[in-house]
A and B are shown apart, each in its own frame.
Chain A
Amino acid sequence: MLARIVTAATFLLSLASTPLLAQQAGGTLVLIAQPEPPTLASYLSTSGPIGLVAPKIYNGLLDYDLDLNPIGELARDHQISDDGLTVTFQLEEGVLWHDGEPFTSEDVRFTIMEVLKQFHPRGPSSFREVSSIDTPDPLTAVFNLERPAPYMIRALSAYESPMVPKHLLEGKDIREADLASNPVGTGPFRFVEWKKGQYIRLDRNEDYWKEGYPLLDRIVARVIPDASTRTAAMENGEVHYGAFGAIPNVDVVRLREDESIGVTTDGYAMINPMALLEFDTTRPPFDSEAVRQAVSLVVDRQFLIDNIWFGYGKPATSALSSNYEPLGLYVATDNYPATPNVEAAVALLDEAGLAADADGVRASAVLDLIPYGEEWRRAGEYMKQALGDVGIELELRYEDVPTWLKRVYTDYDFAINMNYFYQLPDPVIGVHRHYSSDQIRQGTPFVNASRYSNPELDELLVAGSITEDEQERAGIYERVQGILAEDLPVVNLFEMQFLTVYNEKLKDHTVTATGPYSSFDRAYLEE
């Protein structure tokens, strides 16, 4: 009898102390969407701002914890066969689309095979090996692969591969479908209204499949074009959350001191942004390996990080980001100094036969800059001074986005282009596109515009994408990085650190690796 009482008492005590009461349901989260997303069709576009809103509406099969391990979302469990050719997903029960229809494995099959593989910018390469998907029952989806694809399992987040409703898209022109402006998903928030130029409003999904969630009543994504105004709105408590550099770094330095505001660099591990220089390797002066190496040696990476990005960033030390270290794929290489080695650079230039004329000028070129923000202009201005010191005279060129895109990626009318790219959760998805010969596709933006082509490297890249064994893969990528450190068709400058600035009242917003691109179902606002 006493034992029973003790047990009961213990049980009651433990109930009383559960943290459930600490989370408060309710509240409207106002986050910054900068720039305004062009569409909410995350199944057609990987434009950054879409990721701030769409994954709250749509779910993916998986999410990833802060150590990059897959955790279940719509797929509560999954298994990969020993030969790597079959991946089976068990789906959550009782999931409903926002319009009330049930979510089944048919939706999974339709999304991957008919939508993502066909129309998504990265879908065709992420799901290249998927030849078919079986749906033995409404809660099971079986992926059949031609060859093993170890990277694929990392491309299943709500942002990267959102599950879309078959019953609303089947038989329609996927690109024209109304779903793009009136999204219907299975996510914790349902789409209510989009006032262009002002805000996007999402209300809580009362029938969300995860019991007890979401906690917030509403999420409103606000559009604020001016950076200083965004900072002011954050300081004033009018917005609670700004990711991907919505708050400029220089203001973050100031806001860090404010107790009511928090800053984190977490939540970007799936992105791996890298600032870099792309060269046109087919024309002088950058057709010479030695010249490109010289450029890499002259750039003061630490200076860029300290003065333009105000301390946020890590000098690049290889063609791959050091964030791949947990996967064992990263290795530091030569030719990537954090601070300049001017003598070595000058020696290389002399060796390359680029002699200085009477004014000390060895070569001249135009530096094109990515037109997304002030920091890149400063970086360009710095580059002009730095390269000018070793005799490479640069003229800076700012153009608007369409002009720049067309010039660099369609017309190939550039010498050096400063840009930044996401290396993404696996190099196959984000890195190969710079170096692989089959990625020289004129007219397609953000692929191999250097027109670099190395058959030995191509073979290694293919091997890297199909090898399952981690050790073997590590060895392959070590050789890849070694080759690229010499050839340098692209010179990586530094690994960018994106920042999320948030009001301390907002809790549990960065609980998975997808950070700003996650569903926010657990997020809540403290009173």
Chain B
Amino acid sequence: MSFWRRFARNRSALLGLAILAVVILIALGASLLFPEDPFRLVGRPMSAPGSNDFLLGSDTLGRDVAAGIAHGARVSLLIGLLATTVAVALGVVLGGIAGYFGGWIDDLVMRVTEMFQTIPSFLFAILLVAIMKPSIQSIVIAISVVSWPAVARLVRGEFTALRNREFVQACHIVGMGDLRIMLREILPNCLSPIIVTGSLMVATAILIESGLSFLGLGDPNVISWGFQIGAGRTVLRSAWWVCTFPGIAILLTVLAINLVGEGLNDALNPRLRER
């Protein structure tokens, strides 16, 4: 059975894909749907959803929440995907090498990840953003730097466990090259935890961005869901819509990404197919 058909059999994965498609479409079409700059003060402040021509209400300055969500989708998705991609790539490469070769390479890589781990990750992100001054770039870098060690350790653990399995030993006997063994034999077998961790990491990236905004370290010149949540938190009890709708947007996006991730996992892992 082909990969796509396996994937399509999983209804929740399809649902996830559908939601994600909608989010991406909104992100791409933001300028068409909401041509005005989302920072513009376009109407009566603190309008409830549905009043004063505001679909999802307006915030304390009179900015359109819906416009912010549409334009912010682009930024938040970008932050999430970019940061995660870098972190996972780095983690897989370093963790894989460490786990496969063992010995001093393993020691070195593991000590380096330890160094990164020793500073509590959220604090480390805060530290990096504070040093680099808050901006989208510094936030992405900070999130990547903070996230890769977890992936590396996970991958290294998997590689260490698998490298001594019989099938790998068999490959050695046959004379297969190291790179080939790592990429074609071991990596596919530990894809599951990587995909799970990776998909949660996109969520984490978006959440770290909103956490940073909460603490005052967001980029003030770019609209993102994190920005909206940060701007809305003080009025949570008076104008709940300002940070709830962006929160829901994050929730749905995270849900969608994870459902897709699960679907990928199930589809990629042939042995699960039967169940």
Contacts and interface: CB of A to CB of B under 8 A. Distances in A.
- Are A and B close enough to touch in the complex, i.e. CB under 8 Å? yes
Given A307-B62, A371-B216, A399-B134, A378 B231 contact: yes
Most buried by A among B62, B130, B220: B220
A251 B220 contact: no
A399 to B, nearest CB: 6
A397 B234 contact: no
Contacts of A308: 60-61
Contacts of B39: 381, 384-385
Most buried by A among B61, B133, B134, B231: B61
A250 B221 contact: no
B41 interface: yes
B237 A398 contact: no
A526 interface: no
Given A307-B62, A308-B61, A399-B133, A381 B220 contact: yes
A253 B46 CA distance: 13
Contacts of A412: none
Given A378-B231, A381-B61, A403-B133, A254 B237 contact: yes
Most buried by B among A307, A308, A369, A403: A307
Most buried by B among A251, A400, A403: A400
A339 B218 CA distance: 30
Interface in A48-92: none
A248 B220 contact: no
Report whether over half of chain A's contact residues are helix, strand or loop; otherwise say mixed.
Answer: helix
Given A228-B237, A308-B61, A384-B39, A398 B231 contact: no
Contacts of B41: 382, 385
B45 interface: yes
Interface in B91-139: 130, 133-134
A377 B134 CA distance: 14
Interface string A271-307: 0000000000000000000000000000000000001
A254 B62 CA distance: 20
A398 B61 contact: no
A398 B40 contact: no
Contacts of B61: 307-308, 378, 381-382, 385
A251 B236 CA distance: 10
A156 B20 CA distance: 65
A250 B235 contact: yes
Contacts of A374: 231, 234
B238 interface: yes
Nearest to A385: B41
A250 B40 contact: no
A489 interface: no
A284 to B, nearest CB: 22
A398 B217 contact: yes
A334 interface: no
A448 B99 CA distance: 60
B163 interface: no
Contacts of A251: 237-238
A405 interface: no
Nearest to B129: A400
A228 B236 contact: yes
Contacts of B234: 227-228, 248, 250, 374
Nearest to A253: B238
B6 interface: no
A396 interface: yes
Interface string B20-37: 000000000000000000
Contacts of A253: 238
Interface in B12-68: 39-41, 45-46, 60-62
Contacts of A381: 39, 61, 220
Nearest to A367: B220
Contacts of B217: 398
Interface in B210-244: 216-218, 220-221, 231, 233-238
B130 A400 contact: yes
A413 interface: no
A307 B60 contact: yes
Contacts of B60: 250, 307-308, 378
A250 B234 CA distance: 8
A385 B220 contact: no
A250 B133 contact: no
A378 B63 CA distance: 11
A380 B221 CA distance: 10
B177 to A, nearest CB: 51
A398 B134 contact: yes
B248 to A, nearest CB: 19
B237 A397 contact: no
A273 to B, nearest CB: 19
A438 interface: no
Contacts of A377: 216, 220, 231
B247 to A, nearest CB: 15
Contacts of B237: 228, 231, 251, 254
A381 B231 CA distance: 11
A101 interface: no
Contacts of A399: 133-134
- 3 smallest CB-CB distances across A and B, nearest first, come from A396-B220, A307-B45, A374-B234
17 contacts: A228-B233, A250-B234, A251-B237, A253-B238, A307-B61, A307-B62, A369-B220, A371-B216, A374-B234, A377-B231, A381-B39, A381-B61, A382-B41, A385-B41, A385-B61, A398-B134, A403-B130
Given A254-B238, A381-B61, A403-B130, 13 more contacts: A228-B236, A248-B234, A250-B60, A251-B238, A307-B46, A377-B220, A378-B60, A384-B39, A385-B40, A385-B61, A396-B221, A398-B134, A400-B130
